[in-house]
Amino acid sequence: MTDVEGKRHVVAVIGAGPAGIYAARKLAEAGHVVVLLNRDIKPGGLAEYGIFFDKEKMKEGLRKQFKRILSDPKVFYFGHVTVGQGKAVALEELQRIGFSAIVVSAGAQGTKKLGIPGEDCLSVYHAKDVVYHYNKLPPFSQRPYEVGRRVAIIGMGNVMVDVANWLLNYKKVSEVTVVARRGPKEKAYDDSEFEVVEQYLDNEDMRREIQRIAPRLEVVGQNVEEILKTFVKETVPPADCKLRFRYLCSPHQVIADNQGKVAALEVEVNDLVLDGERTVAKGTGQLSRIDLDCVIYAIGDQVDSAIGLPFSRGAFVTSPDKLPGDPSPSLYQPYDPGTGKVLEGLYLVGWSRNASVGLVGVAKKDAETGMKVVNNYLASKEGFASAVIDQKIATLVNKLEANKASFVTKQDIELLEAVEKEEARKRETWEYKFSTDEEMLTVISAKREQPLQVAVANGPVGKS
Ligand SMILES: Cc1cc2nc3c(=O)[nH]c(=O)nc-3n(C[C@H](O)[C@H](O)[C@H](O)COP(=O)(O)OP(=O)(O)OC[C@H]3O[C@@H](n4cnc5c(N)ncnc54)[C@H](O)[C@@H]3O)c2cc1C
C-alpha cells in the first residue's frame, strides 16, 4: 500500500463497465483514490446492458462484485456523466483538474458500418443499439426497433446469437437469416451459446446450403461430410419460426421499398481462399437477393472518437513501438502520431483499447494488466496530501454543477436498486429496471434524504 500522506494519487477512470471497475479495484488496492465517471446512471456497462437479460446468475454475480468494489471509500462514482467535448465534462477539463492519471475504459461506443449502398435506410440497425434496447438502456430503451417478420443478421459471433435469441424467442419473427462472409467452420459463436436458438434451425435448409457451397469448401481442403454431420441436426423447427444461414455471402447493397424501408439485401457470393493457415473470403462478382424486412449488423463496434483522443480506423491510436517495461506501457497508452509521443498520464483498457474483443474475463484481465502500468507510473511520481485530493474532487463537482450535469453517486445507485428490487418483488420477476433516465433520476431525488453531496475525507462537497 502507498497509503502514505503525500504518496497517494487520484486517478480519473472514464467508464464504469467491467474494465473501469476492475481497474478501480487495482488502483484502490494500491492505495490510490479513484474517481469513476460513467455515461450511464448505473455502473456495469455491457455487463448490465449487453449480457442477455435472462442470464440471471451471471448478471447478479457481476453486480455483487461491482457493488463490493464501489463500496471502497477510496472509490468515488459519478454516474450520468459523459466525458467529451460539450458533454458533462471534457477530457481537457479533467486534465486541467490535475488527476495523477486518466484511464479511458469507455468501451466501444462508436458504430461500425460496411459502407454499402442503402445501409442508412429504415430498419437497418446495429446490434449494439438493439442489445441496449432490449436490456433497457436509455435512450435506446425508448426507441422503436421495427423488425418485421424476416430479419437478416450480418455476422456470425456470440452477439449474433443473442440478437437471434431475442428475435426468435421474444419477438417471434418468422425468419432469421444469418449472413456470413465465410463458411460454417469459420463460425465465431460458441456452441453452448447457440443452444438457445438451435431448436429454430431449419436443418433441411442447412443441408441444402452446405451442399450449395460444398465445391468451394473442398477447394480449401474442408471435409464436407464432417461439416454436414456437425451442422445438420435431426430436429425439426417450428413451421412459423426458422433460423437459416447464408454462407459465403458478403452484403453488397440494402434495397429499400418506396417508403425507404428495407425490402431486400443483395449479397455477393464469395469463394474461400487460403492465406497461410487462414481462410479468407474473396468476392466472385455473382449477386443474389434475400427478401427481408430488417437488417441488423452484428459486426463489432468501434471506439467513440468524441472522447477526444487520437483516433484512426475505428480505434484509439497507440504507439507503433514497444516502450521498455513489462507489460510495455505503449500497449496501454494513447499516442499522438503528430508528435510521435505517447500522451503522458493517459491510459486505455478494455474495449476502449481493443474494441469488441472478448468476454468480461478478458476485459478484467486487460484492466488488471493495464493497472500494473499505471501503478508503476504513479509510483514514480510525487503524490498528494489528502486535502489536495479532496480539493480536486471538489473542483470536479463544481465543474459538473457548472456544466449542469445531473450526476448521481454510489449511494444514489443503492437507493435506486432498492426501489427496483421492491418493484421486481411486487411483479414476481427476478429483476425490474426503470427504462428512462428521468424515471431513475426522479426515484433517486425522491429517496435522497439530503441534497446531493460527495463525502470526501475532510467533509462533504457539492450543494449544501
Ligand atoms: C451483446 C453482448 C453480449 C455479451 N454477453 C456476454 C456474456 O454473456 N458473458 C461475458 O462474459 N461477456 C459478454 N459480453 C462481453 C462483455 O460485455 C465485455 O467484455 C465487457 O463489457 C467489456 O467491458 P468494458 O468495460 O471494456 O466496456 P463496456 O462494458 O462497454 O463499458 C463501458 C462503460 O463506459 C461508459 N462510457 C461510454 N462512453 C463514455 C463516456 N464518453 N464518458 C463516460 N463514460 C462512458 C459506459 O456507460 C459503460 O458503462 C457481451 C457483449 C455484448 C456486446
Domain residue ranges in the chain: 10-109+302-461, 124-297
Residue 464 pLDDT grade (very low, low, confident, very high; cuts 50, 70, 90): very low
> What is the rounded average pLDDT of the residues 9-19?
98
**In the beta sheet, which residues pair with residue 270?**
283
Is 107 within 8 Å of 300 (Cβ atoms)? no
CA-nearest residue, atom 4 of ligand 1: 51
Task: List Cα–Cα distances, 422 to 227, 419, 425, 431, in angstroms.
Answer: 50, 5, 5, 9
* pLDDT, position 4: 56
The whole-angstrom separation of Cα 266 and Cα 288 is 6
> What is the rounded average pLDDT of the residues 358-378?
97
Which tens digit of pLDDT belongs to each residue from 95-140?
999 999 999 999 999 999 999 999 999 999 999 999 999 999 999 9
Residue 3 pLDDT grade (very low, low, confident, very high; cuts 50, 70, 90): very low
Cα–Cα–Cα angle for 153, 294, 207, rounded to 5 degrees: 45
Which tens digit of pLDDT belongs to each residue from 221-242?
999 999 999 999 999 999 999 9
* pLDDT, position 6: 61
What CATH architecture applies to the domain 10-109+302-461?
A: 3-Layer(aba) Sandwich (3.40)
Atom number of ligand 1 nearest to Cα 82 = 42
How many angstroms is it from 353 CA to the middle of ligand 1? 12
How many angstroms is it from 84 CA to the middle of ligand 1? 18
Query: H or E stretch including 375?
Result: helix 360-379
Q: What are phi and psi of 151, to 5 degrees?
A: -125, 135
Ligand 1 pocket mutation pick from 35, 41, 51 by most atoms within 8 angstroms of CB: 51
Is residue 456 predicted with pLDDT exceeding 90?
no
Residue 176 pLDDT grade (very low, low, confident, very high; cuts 50, 70, 90): very high
Which tens digit of pLDDT belongs to each residue from 200-225?
999 999 999 999 999 999 999 999 99
CA-nearest residue, atom 21 of ligand 1: 46
Query: If you average pLDDT over every residue of the chain, what do you get?
Result: 95
Is residue 1 predicted with pLDDT exceeding 60?
no
Which tens digit of pLDDT belongs to each residue from 183-200?
999 999 999 999 999 999
48 lines ligand 1 (CB under 6 A): no
How many angstroms is it from 18 CA to the middle of ligand 1? 7
Retrieve residue 424's grid coordinates: 421486481
* pLDDT, position 459: 72
How many angstroms is it from 47 CA to the middle of ligand 1? 6
Please state which CATH class domain 124-297 belongs to: alpha beta
Which tens digit of pLDDT belongs to each residue from 272-317?
999 999 999 999 999 999 999 999 999 999 999 999 999 999 999 9
The beta strands (E) that lie in 292-339 are given as 294-297, 311-312, 315-316, 335-336
Place of cell 470536479: 396
Atom number of ligand 1 nearest to Cα 21 = 25
* pLDDT, position 424: 97
The whole-angstrom separation of Cα 37 and Cα 83 is 8
> What is the rounded average pLDDT of the residues 45-71?
98
Is 220 within 8 Å of 182 (Cβ atoms)? no
How many angstroms is it from 239 CA to the middle of ligand 1? 36
CA-nearest residue, atom 53 of ligand 1: 50
Residue 265 pLDDT grade (very low, low, confident, very high; cuts 50, 70, 90): very high
Calculate what percentage of the chain has a pLDDT beyond 70: 98
Is residue 2 predicted with pLDDT exceeding 60?
no
CA-nearest residue, atom 49 of ligand 1: 45
The whole-angstrom separation of Cα 24 and Cα 79 is 15
> What is the rounded average pLDDT of the residues 71-76?
97
How many angstroms is it from 108 CA to the middle of ligand 1? 8
Residue 450 pLDDT grade (very low, low, confident, very high; cuts 50, 70, 90): confident
How many angstroms is it from 266 CA to the middle of ligand 1? 32
Retrieve residue 66's grid coordinates: 461491482
* pLDDT, position 461: 76
356 φ/ψ sector (left φ>0, alpha ψ -120 to 50, else beta): left
Atom number of ligand 1 nearest to Cα 307 = 41
Is residue 179 predicted with pLDDT exceeding 60?
yes
* pLDDT, position 5: 59
Is residue 87 predicted with pLDDT exceeding 70?
yes
> What is the rounded average pLDDT of the residues 446-451?
84
Is residue 379 predicted with pLDDT exceeding 80?
yes
Is 8 within 8 Å of 32 (Cβ atoms)? yes
> What is the rounded average pLDDT of the residues 364-387?
96
Which tens digit of pLDDT belongs to each residue from 21-37?
999 999 999 999 999 99
Is residue 418 predicted with pLDDT exceeding 50?
yes
How many angstroms is it from 132 CA to the middle of ligand 1? 10
Same fold? 10-109+302-461, 124-297: no
354 lines ligand 1 (CB under 6 A): no
Residues 6+ apart with CB under 8 A from 47: 17, 18, 59, 62, 63, 66, 360
